[in-house]
């Protein structure tokens, strides 16, 4: 009899320890602040490979190895609680409430890569595909916005897609389950898509437009080129020859050159009064003060992300706040 009592006590203690472990290492406790916007538009413009909610970081690990294969991961900011959530090539990560929304890229043959939008619970359960061929995904105010996209090597000649080719580039709005989808903008080919301050910013060719999220009224803003970034009061972009950075003031409706001879910008983000960009190849990060137009140079690895309007560096699967003491 005593043996059975001890066994029951042991099992109760085991269950208690397991529950304590789950409570500690799962990111859906009510004490955590829940996002209303899935990720900053600046981050999405750079493919949104990192997102944050509360004390947890959700990220794409591209450096596959035996212990940590390529895929979507979550980890605490103190680098504890690492867990794989889904395998594969991942981008455009958004986290809102109890769900992570992300795009998973899947190859079809040698030339086609499709991009499927999924949602998964914070604990890695209930994975569900909610949209096909999605890019530039934004989750804002209980709605999902995305642009239809597909990656094809070597042009479209001889290619058969699993969806109408004239749908490429169109912009859709749907609910958080991928239902009630409506096309809110038509355009040929792809392009950028930003959402900020109740507006959708997008391009049709070199022309930039913005659409009010509520009444869907659309207006022309300005002409742009490459690497378009939208901030509260301005649009930043790089010339077609990738040598000059321009600023378009949305209020004053004026365009000005803010950096010349920048040489092949391949990454750009605006946070507060600073514009961060990379020149060509290497670890050189340029930090442009948007008031003085003076530039400082940092030598760091990793990409820059915006969280709580502060710059962070993500490198070797770790997120750290950027030190700007020159």
CATH number for position 288:
2.40.10
Confidence class of residue 135 from pLDDT cuts 50, 70 and 90? very high
Task: Say if residue 241's pLDDT is above 50.
Answer: yes
pLDDT, tens digit, for every residue of 257-299?
999 988 778 789 999 999 999 876 666 889 999 999 999 998 8
> Three-class SS of residue 11?
helix
Task: Say if residue 20's pLDDT is above 50.
Answer: no
314 in any annotated domain: yes
Q: What percent of the chain has pLDDT over 70?
A: 87
**Angstrom distance (rounded) from CA 67 to CA 65:** 6
Lowest-pLDDT choice from 23-27, 138-142, 276-280: 23-27
CA-CA distances (angstroms) from residue 206 to 135, 252, 316? Answer: 19, 20, 36
Predicted structure pTM score:
0.88
For residue 246, give its domain range.
242-326
Contact 122, 26 (CB under 8 A): yes
Task: Say if residue 14's pLDDT is above 70.
Answer: no
**Tokens (6 digits) for 102:** 């992300």
- How do 56-61 and 71-76 pair as beta strands? antiparallel
18 in any annotated domain: no
**Angstrom distance (rounded) from CA 209 to CA 223:** 9
Contact 243, 231 (CB under 8 A): no
127 in any annotated domain: no
Dihedral over Cα of 129, 130, 131, 135: its sign: negative
Q: Which pLDDT does position 24 carry in this prediction?
A: 43
Question: What is residue 165's DSSP assignment?
Answer: G
60 in any annotated domain: no
232 in any annotated domain: no
> Three-class SS of residue 189?
coil
Task: Say if residue 63's pLDDT is above 60.
Answer: yes
Q: How confident is the prediction for the chain on average, in pLDDT?
A: 87
- How do 112-121 and 99-108 pair as beta strands? antiparallel
Higher-confidence residue of 16 and 169: namely 169
Q: Residue 60 forms beta bridges with which residues?
A: 72
Contact 43, 51 (CB under 8 A): yes
pLDDT, tens digit, for every residue of 103-129?
999 888 778 888 999 999 999 999 999
Confidence class of residue 253 from pLDDT cuts 50, 70 and 90? very high
- Domains in the chain, number: 1
**Angstrom distance (rounded) from CA 268 to CA 231:** 12
Q: Which pLDDT does position 47 carry in this prediction?
A: 93
Contact 87, 70 (CB under 8 A): yes
Mean pLDDT across the stretch 39-65?
93
307 in any annotated domain: yes
318 in any annotated domain: yes
Residue in 162, 109, 104 with CA at minimum distance from that of residue 130? 104
pLDDT, tens digit, for every residue of 179-200?
999 999 999 877 899 999 999 9
269 in any annotated domain: yes
30 Cβ contact list (under 8 Å, min separation 6): none
């Amino acid at each position: 009899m005593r043996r059975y009592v001890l066994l029951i006590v042991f099992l109760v203690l085991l269950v208690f320890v397991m529950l304590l472990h789950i409570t500690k290492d799962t990111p859906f406790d009510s004490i955590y602040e829940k996002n209303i916007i899935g990720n900053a538009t600046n981050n999405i413009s750079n493919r949104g490979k990192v997102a944050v909610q509360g004390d947890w970081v959700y990220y794409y690990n591209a450096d596959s190895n035996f212990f940590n294969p390529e895929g979507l991961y979550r980890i605490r900011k103190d680098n504890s609680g690492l867990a794989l959530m889904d395998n594969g090539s991942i981008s455009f990560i958004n986290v809102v409430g109890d769900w992570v929304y992300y795009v998973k890229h899947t190859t079809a043959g040698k030339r086609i890569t499709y991009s499927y939008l999924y949602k998964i619970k914070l604990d890695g359960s209930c994975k569900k595909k909610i949209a096909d061929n999605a890019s530039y995904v934004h989750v804002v105010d209980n709605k999902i916005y995305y642009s239809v996209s597909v990656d094809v090597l070597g042009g479209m000649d001889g290619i058969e897609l699993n969806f109408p080719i004239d749908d490429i580039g169109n912009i859709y709005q749907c609910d958080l389950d991928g239902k009630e989808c409506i096309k809110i903008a038509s355009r040929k080919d792809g392009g950028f898509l930003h959402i900020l301050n109740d507006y959708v910013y997008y391009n049709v060719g070199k022309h930039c437009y913005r659409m009010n999220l509520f009444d869907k009224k659309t207006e022309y803003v300005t002409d742009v080129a490459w690497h378009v970034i939208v901030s509260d009061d301005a649009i930043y972009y790089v010339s077609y020859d990738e040598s000059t950075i321009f600023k378009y003031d949305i209020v004053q409706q004026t365009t000005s050159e803010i950096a010349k001879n920048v040489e092949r910008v391949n990454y750009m983000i605006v946070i507060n009064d600073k514009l961060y960009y990379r020149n060509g190849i290497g670890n050189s990060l340029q930090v442009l003060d948007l008031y003085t137009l003076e530039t400082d140079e940092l030598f760091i690895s990793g990409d820059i992300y915006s969280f709580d309007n502060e710059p962070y560096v993500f490198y070797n699967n770790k997120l750290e706040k950027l030190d700007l003491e020159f």
